[in-house]
Amino acid sequence: MRFEVSKKLQIPQWNGDYGKATRAAGHQLFWSGNNQYTNSADYVFSFQGRKRPYRAAAYETGFWHEAAHLDVRGLWNGAVFNQPGAMAQVLAYKAPISAQDVCRNRAGPVVKYSQPTVSRTWDGVVLACQVAHDHSITVGSNASEAAYWAFLEGACKHYGPLLFMKYHPRSHGPDLVRVLELAKKYGARAGPTDLKILEKCRFVLVYNSTFSVDAWMWGKRVAQFAEGYFANTGAVTYTRGQFPNACEDTDGVQQKLLNFLIWRYCYYRLMPADRMIAMFEAFAQASPEELFPLPEELSYAAQAPRKKNPT
């Protein structure tokens, strides 16, 4: 079995514990360029087995604290969830326990990004801002930072005082000033806030952010403006560039997708080396047609640390 990992990969364990464990298991760890994907994935893992054809998987962090995923089709609008037959597998899956229960019993942080200590209530529309230069914004034939800023201004103009734009935890400086200026121009609001702002809001609006997952965890409906991970899943109202005044009922799809994400798509990126290797082996040995090679027992839900006395 051969594993190749792109040169961009800077996870320290690969230079130490994981590399040693990989060699001890009879595998070699190769570092190669990102030649398999053109969607600007941060990292690409490549697998080759004796009896299996070559395959690759794009790496991305999310959607919970220290969670990551390997996608065998691509990221964002190219992700497996937008492939034929993917949602049939999601809807048919029976999770051992719900994503909410997994997170309730999780030891340590749960949310992907540390949130501000500011708490707000809002009964209008909450827009989750993204980092304007992130790959999720700039990747794709029609994607650009300009399109994202046009989206923010369009939302401010359409919703006016009903809109609150939640700062992204990683945004800073000029981007935050620009968001605040747009809000003031159209009578909207903007600023830092924790997730309690979701409690009473009508629905959440995103460009193509994975903040959708946070909203679903709060039982909120999501409107998605541009292509991304969840555009064609039925778990969001995909608006195709329009600004809705309400969101469609997802009829339980968002909960099923949440459960699938945490049990069959995301893994705990700090899990022990032997389990990480077992996960790579599962990807390497799966058939090329398999969209979700991650075994349930190696998922984020199964491997992330739990409280000593779970409720």
Per-residue model confidence as pLDDT tens digits over 138-147: 765 567 889 9
Joined together, the tokens standing for residue 125 give 């529309």
Q: What is the CATH number of the domain that holds 237?
A: 3.40.50
What pLDDT shows up at residue 277? 83
Question: Domain check: are 253 and 274 in the same one?
Answer: no
Q: Is the pLDDT of residue 123 over 60?
A: yes
Question: Domain check: are 244 and 129 in the same one?
Answer: yes
Question: Domain check: are 105 and 217 in the same one?
Answer: yes
- Digit-coded pLDDT (tens) for 168-226: 987 778 889 999 999 999 999 999 999 999 999 999 999 999 999 999 999 999 999 99
Q: Is residue 308 part of a domain?
A: no
What pLDDT shows up at residue 32? 46
Q: Is the pLDDT of residue 306 over 80?
A: yes
Question: Domain check: are 147 and 182 in the same one?
Answer: yes
Count of domains forming the chain? 2
Q: Is residue 311 part of a domain?
A: no
Higher local confidence (pLDDT), 33 or 256: 256
Q: How far is CA 132 from CA 140, 146, 168, 170, 243, in A?
A: 14, 9, 10, 10, 19
Compute how many other C-beta atoms are within 10 angstroms of the C-beta atom of residue 39: 18
Question: Domain check: are 124 and 234 in the same one?
Answer: yes
Q: Quick one: CA dihedral 140, 157, 231, 257, positive or negative? A: positive
Strand blocks (E) in 89-228: 125-128, 163-166, 189-191, 203-206, 222-224
Instruction: Look up the pTM and report it.
Output: 0.90
Mean pLDDT computed over 90-106? 97
Q: Is residue 159 part of a domain?
A: yes
Q: Is the pLDDT of residue 155 over 90?
A: yes
Mean pLDDT computed over 234-238? 95
Q: Is the pLDDT of residue 30 over 60?
A: no
Question: Domain check: are 178 and 238 in the same one?
Answer: yes
**Range scoring the smallest mean pLDDT among 8-12, 82-86, 146-150, 233-237:** 8-12
Read off the pLDDT band of 33 (50, 70, 90): very low
Read off the pLDDT band of 97 (50, 70, 90): very high
Q: Is residue 274 part of a domain?
A: yes
Question: Domain check: are 143 and 236 in the same one?
Answer: yes
Question: Domain check: are 165 and 278 in the same one?
Answer: no
CA–CA gap between residue 83 and residue 233 (Å, rounded): 10
**Cβ-proximal residues to 51 (8 Å cutoff; 6+ apart), any chain:** none
Mean pLDDT computed over 262-280? 90
Question: Domain check: are 107 and 132 in the same one?
Answer: yes
Helix (H) or strand (E) holding 35: none
Q: Tell me which residue range forms the domain holding 73.
A: 2-92+263-303
Q: Is the pLDDT of residue 272 over 90?
A: no
